[in-house]
Amino acid sequence: MSAVSPRGFQVAINADPRVGEGPVWDADRGELVWVDILGRRVHRTRIGSGATVTYELPTFVGAAAPAAEGGFVIATREGFGYLDEEGIFES
């Protein structure tokens, strides 16, 4: 269930990240891609249903962006990598 603030804003994602950052709208998939930096996770959330797919990474992740060929380009503290849709990360 979504909560509505006194100003009329609605909570789109009911999550409890350690440090949630970097929301990016993926129009092709109809999903919001966002990261939990300290939790070392990348999330894909369907706003209408709230269904979320979560990928755990072996390192801190600062940002994620949908890649043209599918999967995601990932910014980590060590540099850049690629995360495929099955959750396999290559740095």
CA distance readout (Å), 80 to 36, 40, 56, 59: 16, 14, 16, 11
CA angle (36 as vertex; 34, 38 as ends), nearest 5:
155
pLDDT of residue 7: 78
Q: What is the pLDDT of residue 83?
A: 97
pTM to 2 decimals?
0.82
Please give the pLDDT value at position 1: 44
Q: Could you tell me the two tokens for 25? A: 């709208």
* Residues of the chain below pLDDT 70: 1-5, 10-12, 14
pLDDT at 3: 60
